[in-house]
Amino acid sequence: MKTYKIAVMGGDGTGPEVTVEAVKVMKAAEARFGFKTELTDFDFGGERYKRTGETLPDSAIEEFKKFDSILLGAIGHPDVKPGILEKGILLKARFALDQYINLRPVRLYPGVPCPLKDKGPDEVDYVVVRENTGDAYTGAGGFTLKDTPNEVAVQSAVYNRFQVDRCLKYAFEYAKKHGKKARGKGKENTLGLVGKTNVLTYIYDLWERAFHEMGKKEYPDIRRDYYHVDATCMWMVKSPEWFDVLVTGNLFGDIITDLGAITQGGMGIAAGGNINPQGVSMFEPIGGSAPKYTGQGVINPLAAICAMQMMLETLGEDKAAKKIEDAVKFVTANKMKGMAAGKMGYSTSEVGDLVATEVAN
């Protein structure tokens, strides 16, 4: 029987609570689909940082490399200055494990309230492939004349051709396998590049040239579209049905996926994968640690469950992943009253039970 070693990092706030529910559903899937997982808990997060001053040490990165995957709850603590844990844990793992893809589906499930007028699951159904190692996230930059009236701050957006090409390759392959045509939902599999070629004339010029070069040569059957990022925001609200697979840089990807998340029902349900296709990937609900709801049993665990579902899909457990997605859809369509914390009509663990029961049946 196939056994996967999974590192579980519940993290801060409601992170541990939602991770427990994801594991519960995963265990139900194991029993039914004939695979096993061996779980190891890691307590990195705000509490440990406050106790020891440690965020995510290099030794933990080496340790993580021995796992098949990582399941993350949330990082962010109200008593710790913003940036320390985010950079020290989340971004450190993404960079050190070279998780160069951040895969974020924007998929509205049946029964989930959508803030967009006249849009439903057929319209809100696309995926953002966010590059995850470059852009303004590399830390390139600094201050001069700090704390003087003439202080200058520079934070450079950085990309090299290698980073852009490997991200595009993943995105084209993704569009080929999971695009709307591949899923019987459209005329052509389409990859849309989201950029800002009218202002960021270096970075997105590089992206655009690489995009068309690779597309023309290696993926002639995939339709290529280009959108400026500001217009993308507009269309994500007005006509999300236009989109199939979108690919973009790290910062634009960060911003547009929060907009995407709210159109799919909010942070209670939006999940993402930090993927190194040749290495160890890390899956997380994309909402934060929601400190004010900690320990009350009211937070929505579906985003964590969907993150675990993406993890199983990436590990190749397609049948289990499909079953879990169907179970989530069943629960959103037939059981839950809403997606927001405290408004679900069920507690956190009851939602986990509902999905786990569906998976088992």
Structure tokens at 234: 């507009």
Kindly state the smallest distance separating residue 90's Cβ from ligand IPM, in Å: 5
C-alpha dist (Å) from residue 4 to 15, 66, 185, 275, 314: 22, 11, 33, 16, 12
Q: Does 256 bind ligand IPM (CB under 6 A)?
A: no
What are residue 126's phi and psi, to 5 degrees?
-150, 175
**DSSP characters over 12-74:** STTHHHHHHHHHHHHHHHHHHHTEEEEEEEE--SHHHHHHHS-SS-HHHHHHHTTSSEEEEEE
With respect to Mn ion, which residue has the nearer C-beta, 206 or 299? Answer: 299
Binding to ligand IPM, residues 169-228 (CB under 6 A): none
User: Maximum Cα–Cα distance for the chain, whole Å?
Assistant: 66
Q: Cα separation of 289 and 23, whole Å? A: 18
Contact 162, 277 (CB under 8 A): no
**Least distance to ligand IPM from the beta carbon of 105, Å?**
14
Interface characters, 242-261, with Mn ion (x: CB under 5 A): ------------x-------
Q: Which does 91 bind (CB under 5 to 8 A by kind): Mn ion, ligand IPM, none?
A: ligand IPM
Interface region with ligand IPM, contact rule CB under 6 A, candidates 85-93, 113-121, 231-239, 316-324: 85-93
**What's the closest the beta carbon of residue 7 comes to Mn ion, in angstroms?**
22
Cβ atoms of 284 and 271 within 8 Å: the answer is yes
Determine if 306 is a binding residue for ligand IPM (CB under 6 A).
Answer: no
Does the protein bind Mn ion through residue 358 (CB under 5 A)? no
Quick one: tokens of 11?
């993290």
**Which of 20, 61, 68, 86: binder of ligand IPM (CB under 6 A)?**
86
The nearest distance, CB 80 to ligand IPM, in angstroms, is: 12
Tell me the closest approach of the beta carbon of residue 286 to ligand IPM, in angstroms: 6
Q: Tell me: does residue 90 bind ligand IPM (CB under 6 A).
A: yes
- Rounded to an integer, what distance in angstroms lies between the CA atom of residue 227 and that of residue 195? 6
Return residues touching ligand IPM (CB under 6 A): 86, 90-91, 254, 286
